[in-house]
């Protein structure tokens, strides 16, 4: 797995290319991320790095977290993420990773928590078709049959039913980078990504 970055979703807008085509894009603030730990086969059994993102005041973190960060002389970072790498030879603790790792035209995978929509019914959650809307019908938005009666006499696990919708870890693959602002650490991705504005995202090179 290649080194990833952490970022924040800013929101959506649109840009126009050289041909005048309107492209919907999502704006992300990516990094800067600090390498806070390097794991090797000799010390931990595998090669990986840990990066930190979003500096906060010291009193907002636990003493255990601050002690861990002090080992690498890193500031108080709110979010930590580990990535497995093929080799750690070219990496060092305290190195800052920014949008310089990305290029316009590259495709990335974005992982984040989707927007929670609360308890939702069958039509909204699973796109079931509704029943007749005529006066005599009593099955407008009901589930219909959910299984046989006497045999097996129960509802099988995994049955599509009403329940909580959203609020889950979601990955969108192969989103193209449209533009990069290295001074302000902004990138523009074609299309939409999971989460609300302000949510934390995991950006990975496929």
pLDDT digits (tens, 9 = 90+) for 127-174: 999 999 999 998 899 988 898 888 889 999 999 999 999 999 999 999
Lowest mean pLDDT segment, chosen from 23-32, 79-88, 120-129, 158-167: 79-88
Distance in angstroms (rounded) separating the CA atoms of residues 29 and 181 = 9
**Residue ranges of the domains in the chain?**
5-117+169-204, 118-165
Distance CA 3, CA 94 (A): 15
pTM over 0.85: no
Q: What's the pLDDT at 72?
A: 87
How far is residue 81's CA from residue 202's CA, in Å, rounded to a whole number? 9
Torsion region of 173: left, alpha or beta (phi above 0 gives left; psi -120 to 50 gives alpha): beta
In SS3 terms, 112-154 reads as EECCCCEEECHHHHHCCCCCCCCCCCCCCCCCCCCCCCCCCCC
Of 78-82, 121-125, 142-146, where does mean pLDDT reach its minimum? 142-146
Nearest 5°: phi and psi at 95? -65, 140
Please say if the pLDDT value at position 1 is more than 80: no
- What are 73's two structure tokens? 């002389």
Grouping H, G, I as helix, E, B as strand and the rest as coil, residue 37 is strand
- By percentage, how much of the chain surpasses pLDDT 90? 68
Instruction: Check if CATH label 3.40.50.1820 holds for domain 5-117+169-204.
Output: no
Tokens describing residue 64:
């255990």
Residues 11-36 have a mean pLDDT of 92
Separation CA 176–CA 107 (nearest Å): 4
Compute the C-alpha angle 36/104/95, nearest 5°. 15
Question: pLDDT digit string (tens) for 34-76?
Answer: 999 999 888 889 989 999 999 999 999 999 999 999 988 899 9
**Structure-token match 């002090």, residue found:** 70
């Amino acid at each position: 797995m290649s080194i990833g970055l952490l970022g924040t979703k800013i929101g959506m807008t649109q840009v126009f290319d050289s041909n005048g085509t309107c492209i919907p894009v999502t704006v992300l603030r990516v990094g800067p991320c600090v390498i806070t730990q390097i794991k090797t086969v000799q010390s931990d059994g595998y090669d990986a790095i840990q990066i930190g993102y979003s500096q906060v005041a010291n009193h907002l973190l636990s003493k255990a977290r601050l002690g861990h960060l002090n080992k690498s002389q890193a500031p108080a970072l709110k979010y930590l993420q580990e990535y497995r790498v093929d080799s750690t030879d070219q990496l060092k603790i305290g190195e800052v990773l920014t949008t310089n790792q990305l290029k316009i035209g590259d495709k990335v995978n974005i992982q984040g928590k989707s927007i929670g929509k609360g308890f939702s019914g069958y039509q909204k959650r699973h796109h079931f078709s509704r029943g007749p809307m005529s006066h005599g019908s009593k099955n407008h938005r009901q589930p219909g049959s959910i299984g046989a009666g006497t045999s097996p006499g129960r509802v099988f696990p995994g049955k599509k039913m009403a329940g909580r919708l959203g609020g889950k870890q979601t990955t969108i693959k192969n989103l193209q980078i449209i533009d990069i602002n290295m001074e302000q650490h902004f990138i523009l991705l074609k299309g939409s990504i999971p989460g609300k504005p302000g949510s934390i995202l995991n950006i990975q090179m496929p």
